[in-house]
Structure 1
Amino acid sequence: MGPQPSAALARPALRPSPHAGPAAGPADPAVEDAELARGLVAGDEDSLATAYRRWSPLVHALARRSLGDAKEAEDVTQQVFLGVWRGRRTYRPERGTVAGWIVGITRRTIADALSARTRRLDLLASAGSSLPLPDPGRPEAVLDRVLVGHALAALPLPQQRVLRLAFFEDLTQPQIAERTGWPLGTVKSHARRGLNRLRGSLEQELCRP
């Protein structure tokens, strides 16, 4: 097992600054790409930090353009550079530049984020009318929120946590896994079981005279 990312991969350190300059100018031009690549492959955290300073504005811009959401773009940027670190030994200079390799990781990560968004929408749709989204213009909106809130509160805590993160914080299942530290399969299982229980509970509430 290779060295694990340490302080160089702490979340605050990898968040793109809102004042970051354009991607065109490398933050540290003295470090050549080939040397940077060798450092990354060898597990040098300073090389990772340099790569982040140099290319995170580009990664963030590509993600923001594709996803249309700044927070999701920040999450994708984090995931991309974690992917750079974890997959550093797969880099092959004969196949292209470090920048091109990072852009390739970015495109795959964006595609994963878009797929997760679609799955989340499908998950919400699968609940159908059993999960009414409150309409502020309807007097029943408060009742809807109360019913959903009570139904969620009756779920086992892991299922409740997953569904609250999905519905109220709009997190994808991979993001929920990252937030909770649970395996993605566990998150999916809790979501599926929680939705089934939630649907049944709401149907009982709505059918009461």
Structure 2
Amino acid sequence: MRSPTGGHRYDVTALTDDDDHAQLFQAFRAGDERALAEAYARWSSLVYTIAVRSLGDPGEAEDVTQKVFLAAWRGRDGFDASRSPLPAWLVGITRHTVADAHEARSRRRRVEEAVLLDTELSQADESADVADRVLMRDELRRLGPVPQQVMQLAFYDDLTHTQIADNLGLPLGTVKSHIRRSLSRLRTRLEANDDTH
């Protein structure tokens, strides 16, 4: 039968006969959308069953089924009925599509695990920083008033020895001595604190 444009048009009205696959294959390869609809009606449940058994997720299996028929339709020029029947070709596409779905699932899981690990590490770092700051503040409070001021200006205000001396009106040597003695005391206390844990 010829179409009005002069090309071949296939009669797919008889495609409901399961014994007449050849005409369906020919119409499918030629791009007749009714052949696609008929192929979908006949084999979508097969594709879906393979997908749902492998993936265990009905939603993903439905996506795979749609992708398989879309891929088959787009790649119909590569279909050769002499090499394999249409259902076998569709099963081959299904296996590849299911494998892609498993790989996508694995990638998502790896990304989720990486994000979770990164979040946990970030939270752990923040907790350690907070704990260190609290411990340092407690240890600084044990120092005398002048050494405490010197250390706070050095660590929290990030001032140089000279700036601290100017700020407090102390000789530079006195500031350096306070810092050296205070660091020694802090180190001793922190080491003792670490030993208890």
What are the superposed Cα offsets for residues 114-157 of structure 1, whole Å, 9 maximum, x if unpaired?
Answer: 1111111111112233446xxxxxxxxxxxxxxxxxxxxxxxxx
In structure 2, the CA distance between the partners of 1:121 and 1:84, relative to structure 1 (3 Å rule), is same
1:112, distance to aligned residue in structure 2 (A): 0.5
| Distance in 1 between residues matched to 2:119 and 2:21, nearest whole Å | 52
Alpha-carbon shift at residue 43 of structure 1 (Å): 0.8
Tell me the CA shift for residue 74 of structure 1: 0.3
Look up the match of 1:45: 33
User: How many residues in Structure 1 have an aligned counterpart in Structure 2?
Assistant: 115
Q: Which has the higher helix share?
A: 2
Of 62, 68, 85, which aligns to 2:73? Answer: 85
Higher relative contact order (CA 8 A, sep 6+): 1
TM-score, structure 2 normalization = 0.52
Residue of structure 1 in register with 2:117 after alignment? 129
Tell me if 1:63 matches 2:51. Answer: yes
Give the gaps of 5 or more residues in structure 2.
1-14, 131-197
Computing the radius of gyration from Cα coordinates, the structure with the larger value is: 2
For residues 28-67 of structure 1, give each alpha carbon's deviation from its aligned partner in whole angstroms, at most 9, with x where no partner exists. Answer: 2257211111111111100000000000000000000000
Distance 1:101 1:128, change over 3 A: same
Which letter maps to 1:86? R
Amino acid at match of 1:50: E
Distance 2:126 2:72 in 1: 50
Map 1:14-163 to 2 at 5 A. Answer: 28-29=16-17, 32-131=20-119
Q: How does 1:160-171 map to 2 (within 5 A)?
A: none
Q: CA deviation at 1:93?
A: 1.2
Q: CA RMSD in A?
A: 2.5
